[in-house]
Amino acid sequence: MNWARSISEVVEVPDLGDTPAAVNRKTGVVYINARLKGQLTKDQWFFILLHEQGHLVLQTTDEKAVDAWAFDEYVKRGYKLSESVYALTKVLNFSTPEHFERAENQLKRAQQYDNKISKFSGMSDNKAVHVAQIALAGSILAVLFMPKITGKGGFGMGVVYWVLGGLIFGTLGTLIFKDFNQTS
């Protein structure tokens, strides 16, 4: 038979015990624990629904794999990482070592994601603006002075000087502000 690939219906039930939600992988029906409804925010419930959806998409009972899938989906949609960690710790009752591991994995995912973002942006906005200003100044200086130094001018050479000046000074600026970054 064909098992459900996504959530078909969300049904509230009076009490599911400790767990906030459960999914029937055959029908795709998600059961929400009405008793815990007020204990989680909308964003946290959304993470829990994504987790249940993960069981259907991945067709697995592997909780760790589902957590990882739900985390990626959650982040893609722009939700807060802290909410994903909090939501998961609410789902777990820490009765088994696996629960501790799942919470730790979620925290690690959030940290890794944070690191990726800060590496991508590299530095704070302020510092990035300073680097851009230094690169621009470098370009202008190169266009003004390089023809005098090399004896070669013209529009084509001007473009070359502009790019080179920007690259060299931009790199210098990046190095300078990277150091500041590391000490802060």
Least spacing, CB of residue 100 vs Zn ion, in Å:
16
Q: Which is nearer to Zn ion, 94 or 180 (CB)?
A: 94
Residues 37-66 within binding reach of Zn ion (CB under 5 A) = 63
Burial classification of residue 43, based on how many CB atoms lie within 10 Å of its CB (0-12 exposed, 13-18 middle, 19 or more buried)? middle
Q: Which is nearer to Zn ion, 63 or 83 (CB)?
A: 63
Tokens of 75: 């982040």
The sign of the CA dihedral 167, 172, 177, 183 is positive
Residues in contact with Zn ion, total (CB under 5 A)? 1
Q: Which is nearer to Zn ion, 73 or 166 (CB)?
A: 73
Tell me the C-alpha distance between 65 and 106, whole Å: 11
Least spacing, CB of residue 66 vs Zn ion, in Å:
5
Least spacing, CB of residue 23 vs Zn ion, in Å:
7
Least spacing, CB of residue 178 vs Zn ion, in Å:
42
The number of CA neighbours under 13 Å toward the Cβ of 170 is 13
Burial 113-132 (b: 16+ CB within 10 A, else e): eeeeeeeeeebeeebeebbe
Q: Which is nearer to Zn ion, 63 or 73 (CB)?
A: 63
Shortest-Cβ-distance residue relative to Zn ion: 63
Instruction: Enumerate binding residues for Zn ion (CB under 5 A).
Output: 63
